[in-house]
Each structure stands twice: as structure tokens, then as C-alpha cells.
Structure 1
Amino acid sequence: MKFILRLFDNLFWTLVIKGLNQLRRNKQFIVILTIPPTLQLILYGFALNPDIRNLKLGVVDYAQVQESRELLAAMTSNNIFILESILTSEKNLSRQVEEGALDIGIIIPPDFSRKLATKSATIQVFIDGVNANTAGIANNYINQMVQAYNNRLASTQISSPVLLQFVFLYNPGLTSSWFFLPGVMGLVLTLIATLASAVLVVREKDIGTLEQLLMTPSANWEILLSKMLPLGILLSGDVLLALTLARLVFGVPFRGNFFLFFALSGLYLLVGISLGILLGTISRSQQQVVLMSFFINVPIIQTSGAIAPVEAMPPFFQILSLFNPLRHYITIVRGILLKGVGLDVLWIHVLALIGFLLVFLLIGIRRFRNQLI
């Protein structure tokens, strides 16, 4: 018992307790660390979704036969295409696509049933191509649905020598939010950790308490850690908040070890805080901190794989992303949440985060005593 009391009875822990008390009294700061991450997680979780749904479909059905109605039923059997209007002329259909009232327009010829019975029938499809990504996905959906319709119409089929059976691992339903939410968690933690820690350092300069800290007999690393630990404890609540929202709102599974996830999230928080402190030692005002944070965080987010897969990037940027701590953390989060893997798989990414932490701390310690010059 005496050993424990002696361990915590020193100047370093006094500085840590002082930092905790400062954060506890700053109610506005606590609100900033709670409300924006919640809104960002919910907003990005719903907004960053590549799945296309509710495309407005317009139809000119000159045939008016059972086969054409079955084709339209097949195309509107899910939420991809919504039958918005049934028109009587190609001119009206073309105008509505042009005005943006429709995304897809289909014209079924009057001899549709007869041509199906003889050989093949051609239907005309108009797609609004202003959004090239949406147009390409809609084109693929239409091809798949028409192919499924053709298979049902075929009276005889030749058995294929090779049959394919697909099994999707870790995400059987191909739910997009399961891919995006881990990335959004890392994105939000990066923004909050770097900006909050940098603002705290600059605020210490503004109110004059930083000079008092620099006059204490504490070592540079003790002063830095006394700033990092209280903020890391506070930000760990954001980790739990993000995980809770991911599970309850978006149904993201948790297949790994909770304590490993929480420990590695804490490690990444220290990386983000140390980067923020480094930015704070470079900046001379809170406005400069915001600009520097924007300059640093945007490339970090864009090359991390949080929004777009790393595999979709050019080879140069794939290599460059290896020097991005957020990429390693997102890989860790997706591995633990979706795959349930452990340190035997993730150790290389853990070592990368430790390396980033040491580099940021060493640079920050060297600059800390000289930042007022």
C-alpha cells in the first residue's frame, strides 16, 4: 500500500490530476467531445453508402401484355427501382428524364410478346448519365434483372458443366455500413484527438500557464504525458460511444476481443493526441491550429481507406498510405469487429502505431522547450 502511494506521490501524477481537473471543469470542452462525434458517426454512417436505392423509373409500355407486366414486376420487386410513372409517349418520357423527374426510362415495343415467342425482343432504356457512378450501377442492375427474367422465360436449359456457389465471408449481406463504420470511427477519433490536443496546447500558451509548466523541474516527457493521459481518458468515452452507435444504430457485429479493441483504440488515441500536441507546438494561435489540422487531417483521411478502399488507389498512393497511422487503425478495427482476429494477425499494424507514437513524441519533446522562442 505504501509502495502504491509512493508511486503516485510525485510531480508527474500531480500534473496528471491537474489536467484531469481542468478538463472536468471545462463543460464546453466535454460537450464538444460528445455531441459532434455522435452526429458525425450517424451522418457519415448513413451518407457514405455506395448502394443505389429508390431510382425513379418511368415506363412507356406499348405492348400491354402479360410478358411486359412480368418484366416490370421483376424490375420493381425490390427497392432499387421505384415505378414513378407510366407514360403514353416517348416524348414525355424523354422530357421527364431530361428534367430530372426520372432516373431511368424504359420503352417496351408493341410487338414485344411476338418477338419473345420467335427469337428476341429489344427494349429501349434511357439512363440519366449526369452522375456517372449511379448510371453505371443502374445499368448493371438492369442487366442483372433482365438476365434473371430471361432465365425464367427459358423453356429449356442446357446444364452447365461448371456450377458456381458464392460464399461471402464476414459480411454475408454485403452491408455497406459494416465497411464504412469502422472507417468513420477512425476518422472521427482522428479529428477529435488531433484538434482537441492541439487546441489545449495553444490555449495553455494564451492563458500563460505553459510558461509556468516549463519552469517546473519536470522533464519534457512528463509534461507531455501529463497532457496526453487525461485527454486520452476522456476520449476513451468517444471510443465507447462510437462502438455503441455502430452496434445499436447500424448493427455492425463485434466478433473479436473487446479488451484488445479498447487497448488498441487507446494506443491510437495516444497517436492522435501526440500528433495534435506536435501541431500545437508548431502553431501560435487557435486559428492556425484549425488550418494546420485541416491541412494534415484531409490527406490522412483520404489515403486511409476510411472512405474509398486502398486497393482502388493508384500504386503510389497505396505505398504512401503505409505511412498513415489511420490506415493501420482502420485495418485493426475492421479485423477485430468483422473478422474477430487477434494480435497474431494484427501485430504488424500495432507495431506501426507504436512507431508513429514514438516518432511524434520524440519530435514533440524536442520542440516543446523551444516553442516559445
Structure 2
Amino acid sequence: MIGEGLETRLRVIRAILQKDLLDAFRDSRILGILLAPALIGLLYSFVMQDEAPQAQAKVGVVAASTTQLPRAIRSVSSDNVKLTFREVAGEQALRRLVSSGDLDIGLVVPPDFDRRAKEGGSPTLRVLTTPSPSFGGEYVAALLERSVQSLTGTTPLFHMRTVSVRGERDDLFVMNQLGPRRFMILWAVVFLALMIAVYALPTILAEEMQTRTLDSLLLIASYGDVVIAKALFGLVSTAVGAPLLLVITRVEVAAMPLFAAALALGSLCLVGIGLLLGSFLSNPNQLSTWGSFVSLPLAGGSIAMGLGLPPTAETVLLFLPTAHLTRLLSNAVAGSGVYTSTWMSWTILSGWTVVIYVLVWWRLRRLEL
């Protein structure tokens, strides 16, 4: 008996889902909502270049005496990497600059380093980097032994001590690691999920409420069945649209399982926001106002994650689910730790999802009364 009831519910949910998908293709407004992110992604794929900017490394140097180490690093470096050296007054100032992302790496050179290295005095060179160094930091660190050998003309006799400095802005180099084109197409994927959840889904729900179609559906289905069908509409639309967008823009994903998991969780969260929004609308015309009120900060928070904003502004952005979705998708596309503390993104995104669906459940209970 329970099995028959479950089978009946599944058939009802599938029927509602099929109806919503057909309505989406028939309604020019919904179809436009679905196509807009794809067109934006195509635009970025043609306007922006695949290549990232020229590789560069910004090096800070604190030297107690005159040293030729920067010149030696330049002599062994590739011409394809732009090196910039900056003299810093003290180690604390150097730590702040490395931590904030203004410098890729910091070198604390002891007194008479050049002479002591040549004479076998084994001086200690302190190297300041963040836990997840940028390309520039890793590149210069790899050159140090060869650089000192070039400086001394013999096998270098020195100690190198690496000091990890906590990074304050681990997203500052996201444009360099992903490239502007890939990041903007990645944002278009987030925008696609957002448009489906906040515009397409509430439009269908509001029209059904206005035309009393929802009342007819509730004769054969419960509010829970309708919500599940609407949520599946959002997830299916995103699951189809996002891969197509990546294919037509020729963007490769290095860690596809991570990408799929992050997009599924993020879409589920955004669909919940759309369901909650749609439950308060009595007609589709209200969506133009309230949809913008909801979507603008969510879309803006997503794209702002790649702009290297001040730490205070980034802290505010981290309250938005789309900011964490962008962080997780960026790591998946790059296949490396573009952003650190991803556990925080998973936790906050999951928390948003739970809270939103609790509110959706509460709203449904109010509608049933």
C-alpha cells in the first residue's frame, strides 16, 4: 500500500515536471530568461582571450645590508615572467604586504648575506609566503637556490627558512589563475542558475496561482509534491544549461565531480530562494520588482569575488550563497586551491539551503491553513 502511494506521488511529480518544462519552452519570457546567460557566456568567449595575463612575480625584500640577490634572481629567471622587486622597511611591514596579496613572496636577507654565502658562513635566508602561494611566490621560491649559486659562483652554502604568513585575500589572483575569460564564463554559469531559480521558477509558479492552475494541481497533488516538482524543474534546467554553456564556450573543468557537486548544492539553495519568492507573488508582474531586489545582490556578490575587493567588503560578500558557489566552482575549474578554506563555503552554502527550505516549509504550512 505504501509502495503504491509512493509510486502515485512519483507519477504526479513527473507529470508536473513535464508540464513545467513544456511551459518553459512555450513561454517566450521564460525562454528568454534561460537563453540570456548563454548569450552572455558566448559574448565573453568571443570578446575575452583565453590566455591569462603575462606571468608575473612581485617580490618584497628586507635587507640589513646591500645585496645582489634580486639581480641574481633576475639572471636565472625566464624572460616570460615579469619580476618586480620592492624594498620594504621591516619584516612586519613585509608580512602585511605578503598577507594582503600585494606581494607574492617576501625575502628577509640577513646582514652580509652575499659575503657569508661565498665564504661558507651558512647565512639563513627567511622566505615569507602564504599557505597557498600564488604562481609568482612558488616561482621565485624555486629559483632561490640557483640564484644564490649564480651570486656566489659556487655551490651555495646557506639555509633557507620558509615562514608561512596567513593570507587575508586569497582570491586576489583569481583572474590570473583562471584568466578573465574563464572567470566571466564561470560567472555566467552561476548567473544561469540564478536566473532559473529567481525568475523562471517564480514566473511559472505565479502564473499558476494567477490562472488558478495551481488549485487544479492541488486536487491531485499535495503542496509538497508541487514544491518537489518545481525544485526538480530548477535543478534539471541548470543541469542541462550549465554543461551546454561550458561546451559552447569551450571551457574545460579540471575537477568535474567537484564542479557537479558544488553546482548541485548551489542550485538547490537558489531554487529554494526562488520557491520562497514565488510563494509570496500573486501575479508575474510583481516579479520584475522583487526578482531584481533578490537577484542583483546575489549576481553582484558572485562577480565581485574575482575583483580583489578590500577584506571588509569581502567579509560582507561571504554572507551570500552565490559568493561561496563561485569560490567552489573556481577551484573545480582550475583544479587547484584558487580559494582556501573551502570547508567554510560548503558549510555556509549547506546552511543557507537548510534555512531556506525550512522557510519554504513554513510558508507552505501557512498556505494550507
Aligned partner of 1:43 in structure 2 is 43
SS in 1 for 2:318: helix
Runs of 4+ in structure 1 deviating by more than 6 angstroms, as ranges, are: 169-174
Aligned partner of 2:14 in structure 1 is 17
List alignment gaps of at least 5 residues for structure 1: 54-157
CA distance in 2, matches of 1:355, 1:189: 18
Aligned partner of 2:261 in structure 1 is 263
Aligned pairs for 1:237-252 (under 5 A) are: 237-246=240-249, 248=250, 252=251
Residue identity in the other structure for 2:17: L
Tell me, yes or no, if structure 1 residue 188 matches structure 2 residue 98.
Answer: no
Aligned partner of 1:227 in structure 2 is 230
Larger displacement relative to structure 2 (184-193 or 327-336) = 184-193
CA distance in 2, matches of 1:238, 1:285: 26
Alpha-carbon shift at residue 38 of structure 1 (Å): 1.8
CA distance in 2, matches of 1:295, 1:48: 29
Alpha-carbon shift at residue 8 of structure 1 (Å): 5.0
Aligned pairs for 1:331-342 (under 5 A) are: 331-340=327-336
List alignment gaps of at least 5 residues for structure 2: 54-67, 82-134, 139-173
Aligned partner of 1:365 in structure 2 is 361
CA distance in 2, matches of 1:263, 1:160: 45
Tell me, yes or no, if structure 1 residue 207 matches structure 2 residue 211.
Answer: yes
Q: Work out which of the residue numbers 322, 325, 334 in structure 1 matches 2:321.
A: 325
Alpha-carbon shift at residue 162 of structure 1 (Å): 4.6
Aligned partner of 1:298 in structure 2 is 296
CA distance in 1, matches of 2:286, 2:253: 39
Alpha-carbon shift at residue 365 of structure 1 (Å): 1.9
Q: For the Cα contact (< 8 Å) 1:183–1:307, is it kept in 2?
A: no
SS in 2 for 1:300: helix
Tell me, yes or no, if structure 1 residue 178 matches structure 2 residue 177.
Answer: no
Q: For the Cα contact (< 8 Å) 1:171–1:338, is it kept in 2?
A: no
Structure 1 residues 340, 159: CA separation in 2 closer, same or farther (over 3 Å shift)?
Answer: closer
Alpha-carbon shift at residue 41 of structure 1 (Å): 1.2
Q: For the Cα contact (< 8 Å) 1:189–1:269, is it kept in 2?
A: yes
CA distance in 1, matches of 2:356, 2:48: 31
CA distance in 2, matches of 1:192, 1:352: 21
Q: For the Cα contact (< 8 Å) 2:34–2:200, is it kept in 1?
A: no
CA distance in 2, matches of 1:212, 1:369: 18
Structure 1 residues 8, 303: CA separation in 2 closer, same or farther (over 3 Å shift)?
Answer: same
Offset from partner CA, 1:96-133 (integer Å, 9 cap, x none):
xxxxxxxxxxxxxxxxxxxxxxxxxxxxxxxxxxxxxx
Q: Work out which of the residue numbers 274, 277, 301 in structure 1 matches 2:275.
A: 277
Residue identity in the other structure for 1:185: V
Q: For the Cα contact (< 8 Å) 1:187–1:326, is it kept in 2?
A: no
Tell me, yes or no, if structure 1 residue 198 matches structure 2 residue 202.
Answer: yes
Q: For the Cα contact (< 8 Å) 1:195–1:293, is it kept in 2?
A: yes
Q: For the Cα contact (< 8 Å) 1:325–1:352, is it kept in 2?
A: yes
Q: For the Cα contact (< 8 Å) 1:33–1:235, is it kept in 2?
A: no
SS in 2 for 1:255: coil
- Normalising by the residue count of structure 2, what TM-score does the alignment of the two structures yield? 0.59
Q: For the Cα contact (< 8 Å) 1:198–1:279, is it kept in 2?
A: yes
Instruction: State the identity %.
Output: 18
Offset from partner CA, 1:61-117 (integer Å, 9 cap, x none):
xxxxxxxxxxxxxxxxxxxxxxxxxxxxxxxxxxxxxxxxxxxxxxxxxxxxxxxxx
CA RMSD of aligned residues (A): 3.7
Structure 1 residues 272, 302: CA separation in 2 closer, same or farther (over 3 Å shift)?
Answer: same
Structure 1 residues 364, 321: CA separation in 2 closer, same or farther (over 3 Å shift)?
Answer: same
Alpha-carbon shift at residue 346 of structure 1 (Å): 3.3
